[in-house]
Structure 1
Amino acid sequence: MKPWLATVCLTLAATAAAPAQTLRWASQGDLQTLDPVSQNESFTNAMNGQIYDFLVARDKKLEIVPSLATEWKQDGALQWTFKLRRGVKFHDGRPFTADDVVFSVQRAKEKTSQISNYANALGEPKKIDDFTVEFHLQQFNPGFLEHLNTVYIMSKSWCEEHRVTKPQDFTNKEETYAARNANGTGPYMLVSRAPDVKTVLKRNPNYWGTFEGNVQEVIYTPIASAPTRVAALISGELDFILDPPPPDLARLRETPGVKVFDGPENRVIFLGMDQARDELLYSNVKGKNPFKDLRVRKALYQAIDIETIKTKLMNGQAQPTGAVVPSSLGDFGDPEIEKRLPYDLEAAKKLMAEAGYGDGFEVTLDCPNNRYINDERICQTLASMWARLKVTVRVNAMPKVNYFPKLDKLDTSMYMLGWGGSITDAETTFTPVYRNRAEGGVGSYNYGNYKDDELDALAAAQSKEADPEKRKAIIKQVFQRHNAQIHHIPLHRQFIPWAARAGVNVVHRADNWFELQWVTIK
């Protein structure tokens, strides 16, 4: 038997000496659902992560650490064994056992789960006893622990009692008990939930872990208007905002009683195009699809003045990139992979003429207006840039609660998407975003529905290659093929500054995950 890979002794009682404090905070949009695997959207994930736990968690530097699992070992390439934390209870008092782990993994594999591709990569979970679980894999998974950190642990009996053994079908607007109610083992408990109005949490008095902060109550209010959010922070009506607009940062830094926490985010912003249909849903081009032509995709790419977007729109709070991956760590910092195609309007016009679109065409660009930094404004700026190619772009901006279900139905001709989080390994981008759409969540975020068998085979091969150097070489081939075919148009990696009242101390993580149990209010 191999030695245990990790073990940590954690205090099993929350600190009781902290004074009662209420944290009032806001951002531009609301979490989409309380069902923790129904929507794989970072803000929704982070909010659910205050209520639900994983088997393994992330520390302040995004390293994997124990959570509901105290220790684990890998027996060969295809088996993992986990010891579970004893004495843990769900918020309603139900005991946590191995049955909940097996159930939660299987639930996360359902078709209505948006993390099914990660859950399927975990293999089959098997209960050994109440506090031991084994995972049996069909093939080697180099990112096993990373994928495990995407599966929230739910109470099997609670889900059965409330008839939510399958995740909410968010795309088709299903309403379930789990969408507005929650029962986790995490540091905070749900008090009330009014979608798009207010969500209230309170500290879990029976939490198994420790609290570094002193927040007892949390009141989250989505505020769509950026000026209103900023004004509420300055006036003291809010203690914290997650997404201060870039143009206001200089003013906020100079405002008495306010401070700014800086940091880049592991998130790339890019564009996708319908490359599957013979005729676009939302275009004046009939009988053919301009996005099937590589020359058109390349022309749109080269007509983007990315430096203007960076300096004038993002106020420098963005890093242009040519790689569709959240962090340069994912492509090993390879400058050739990171390199963008040059901004060259004349070359773009020539490509459009060669493709038979010298007089341009009309198309609709779907875009969220409350998900990414300056998302709608970026789409409007792109529309003005592409007008120089005589391409008339109608920007169709909408709240994310409507936006993502639209994309899930492939009801789009062109769209903006952001991809990121705590995992920097390329696999977590390749399987859901780069690959051909298939069962088990593979290619589920390939909303352009392109089919590239060569790219798909390379991406599949790297996901099971055990030799690190061989895998690195395959990963680079995936990027090279994807970039050459321009299946997506990369823009930039966004920076995420946070802003708070002077007496509020937080931990700024690169995955934009706001961890409430680390917050201290003086």
Structure 2
Amino acid sequence: MNFKQTLSAALVATALATLGTASAQTVRIGNQGDALSMDPHSLNESLQLSVTGNVYEPLVTRDKDLNLIPALATGWKQTSPTVWRFELRKGVQFHDGTPFTADDVLFSIARASGDGSDMRTYTNDIKEVRKIDSHTVEIETKAPFPILPAQLSFLYIMSKKWSEENQATRPVDRRKGVENAASFRANGTGPFRLRERQPNVKTSFVRNGNYWGKIEGNVVNVEYTPIGNDATRVAALLSGQVDVIEPVPVQDVARINAGGKAKVMQGPELRWIFLGMDQKRDELLYSNVKGKNPFKDKRVRQAFYQAIDINGIQKNVMRGAATPAALLIGPGVSGYDASIDKRLPYDVEAAKKLLADAGYPNGFEVGMNCPNDRYVNDSNVCQAVASNLARIGVKVNLQAETKGTYFPKILRRDTSFYLLGWSPSTYDAHNVLNAIIRCVDDKGAGQFNLGSYCNPKVDELTLKIASETDQAKRNAMIKEAYTIHSEDIGHLPLHQQALAWGVGNNVQLIQRADNQMPFRYMSVK
């Protein structure tokens, strides 16, 4: 064990010891990773949005069943095909006592649209935001955009006054390692306040006594501790040092359920795991192929696809807790069409021939980036992919690392081949088209299309899909766009992963398919 690992283990042990003295109205959560910042616009990652979503709130949110419901907006309506009017909730205060007004909405949307923001795919269809009065705003879109309310459900509102006073008017830029007060402090309107932030050690929250809405659970304090080691995380749950863990390692589900002290809550997650490839550079950053980019050749991309034994990964790595996928969306997402969700066959010999036809009869070397603390068995999945590709002569130089360094790297596009997971926050096929598949621009389109796949026809369809109100026509265009992307081998889809939370018998909570964990619904028996 090196010094960093020793220090990390010591910090976790200290945090767990502290948790052991928690009161009866405290819920202690152990997660495999940490939220990288308290800034709600700095990283469009579900874990970070889940944590900060207890402190900050959007205009429109989701209930237990994922239905859209009012949050900081009490109502909304279209006043023209491109204009939405939002009536804001009155009497709401930020945690520092500052009243919530339309100025905060205008500021927050502008902040989320600006440099350094990781939330620009939520705002790139917005043309202008106007203040009508202190508690009414209008949002004008560039074209008719019927899913705007859903698009705003993860765009959290910050205090303009607090941000200005604390020199936090711009988001924390994870790509550049830039930090500001919003990294470590928070001032939202949500049901919980940030009490203490120790990055990668422990983050504490306390119930907001002045919250405008109803908090259904009885929890007063929440202690959130990152526990990266699977065995340590499970042991902490079974010993009672923590009350909730996420995720449960697939190999430990049966043991936890049989132990009698906790149960595993399982269900499908609206998250798809896939591989991306640099298709833009003329020469890959991390490869022994010089003077050209193998991934620009569809035959190479298809060879990689057909060399991956997805059923083997499902059985041996995921132990059945995954569903192989051919698209970057699946059941539960509006616009999904099962008729095109058909993978290319696993065929090593066909893959070898494709590589040879492309001019790589002996394969080549390529670097691969992968997190080891973000998705279920993420580094093991990457190791399995590397082993599969070795069968066709491709040597994968795998770099698996904590998401704290992984995300900044791939978001800078400092990668040739990478693994990523995506959960469409709008539960609509347009979200993936806009964020993952569209050609990259400087307004937020294709912000997570980190390999820069680009097909102008898909872009044209994506824009039409955004404004189409006839559902049948819209679904037909969605099907066409995803068919083109599949035929292009734009990305390499792997699987839809399953949720697995370990929950002590003393805790009640709800599990949503988007893997959000609202503290407001938690209770201690």
Q: TM-score, normalised by structure 1?
A: 0.94
Residue equivalent to 1:13: none
Question: Contact 2:153/2:426 (CA < 8 Å) preserved in 1?
Answer: no
Deviation at 1:125, TM superposition (A): 1.8
Aligned match for 1:452, one of 432, 450, 455: 455
Aligned match for 1:387, one of 374, 380, 390: 390
Question: Contact 1:20/1:216 (CA < 8 Å) preserved in 2?
Answer: no
Q: Secondary structure at the match of 1:353?
A: helix
Decide which moves more: 193-202 or 445-454: 445-454
Matched residues in 2 for 1:28 and 1:204: separation? 26
Matched residues in 2 for 1:409 and 1:261: separation? 36
Question: Contact 1:331/1:476 (CA < 8 Å) preserved in 2?
Answer: no
1:73 lines up with 2:77 in the alignment: yes
Aligned match for 2:274, one of 263, 270, 295: 270
| Aligned-partner residue type, residue 312 of structure 1 | N
1:313 lines up with 2:341 in the alignment: no
Aligned match for 1:235, one of 219, 239, 258: 239
Residue equivalent to 2:326: 322
Distance 1:292-1:123 versus aligned 2 partners, 3 A rule: same
Residue equivalent to 1:280: 284
Residue equivalent to 1:131: 135
Q: TM-score, normalised by structure 2?
A: 0.94
Residue equivalent to 1:399: 402
1:61 lines up with 2:65 in the alignment: yes
Matched residues in 2 for 1:319 and 1:42: separation? 20
Matched residues in 2 for 1:519 and 1:421: separation? 25
Matched residues in 1 for 2:106 and 2:420: separation? 32
Matched residues in 1 for 2:471 and 2:512: separation? 27
Q: Which runs of 4+ in 1 moved over 4 A?
A: none
Matched residues in 1 for 2:429 and 2:157: separation? 25
Q: Secondary structure at the match of 2:391?
A: helix
Residue equivalent to 1:11: none
Deviations for 1:344-401, whole angstroms, at most 9, x for unmatched residues? 1111111111111111111111101111000000000111111110111111011111
Aligned match for 2:516, one of 490, 505, 513: 513
Q: Secondary structure at the match of 1:470?
A: helix
Residue equivalent to 2:379: 376
Deviation at 1:138, TM superposition (A): 2.5
| Aligned-partner residue type, residue 281 of structure 1 | L
1:184 lines up with 2:188 in the alignment: yes
Question: Contact 2:120/2:447 (CA < 8 Å) preserved in 1?
Answer: no
Q: Secondary structure at the match of 1:207?
A: coil
Residue equivalent to 1:246: 250
Deviation at 1:421, TM superposition (A): 4.6
Residue equivalent to 1:291: 295
Q: Secondary structure at the match of 1:463?
A: helix
Question: Contact 1:283/1:362 (CA < 8 Å) preserved in 2?
Answer: yes
Matched residues in 2 for 1:369 and 1:377: separation? 8
Q: How do residues 346-361 of structure 1 correspond to structure 2 at under 5 angstroms?
A: 346-361=349-364
Q: Percent identical across equivalent pairs? A: 48
Structure 1 unaligned residues grouped into runs of 5+ = 1-18
Deviation at 1:231, TM superposition (A): 0.3
Residue equivalent to 2:5: none
| Aligned-partner residue type, residue 342 of structure 2 | K
Deviations for 1:54-77, whole angstroms, at most 9, x for unmatched residues? 111100111100111112221131
Deviation at 1:117, TM superposition (A): 2.3
Residue equivalent to 1:117: 121
Deviations for 1:138-188, whole angstroms, at most 9, x for unmatched residues? 311121011111210111111111111111122100010111110000000
| Aligned-partner residue type, residue 489 of structure 1 | L
Deviation at 1:331, TM superposition (A): 6.5
Deviations for 1:215-254, whole angstroms, at most 9, x for unmatched residues? 1011111011000000000000010002010111111111
Residue equivalent to 2:439: 436
1:209 lines up with 2:213 in the alignment: yes
1:21 lines up with 2:36 in the alignment: no
Question: Contact 2:124/2:445 (CA < 8 Å) preserved in 1?
Answer: no
Structure 2 unaligned residues grouped into runs of 5+ = 1-22
Matched residues in 1 for 2:146 and 2:367: separation? 39
- How many residues are treated as equivalent by the alignment? 503
| Aligned-partner residue type, residue 404 of structure 1 | F
Question: Contact 2:42/2:172 (CA < 8 Å) preserved in 1?
Answer: yes
Aligned-CA RMSD value: 1.3
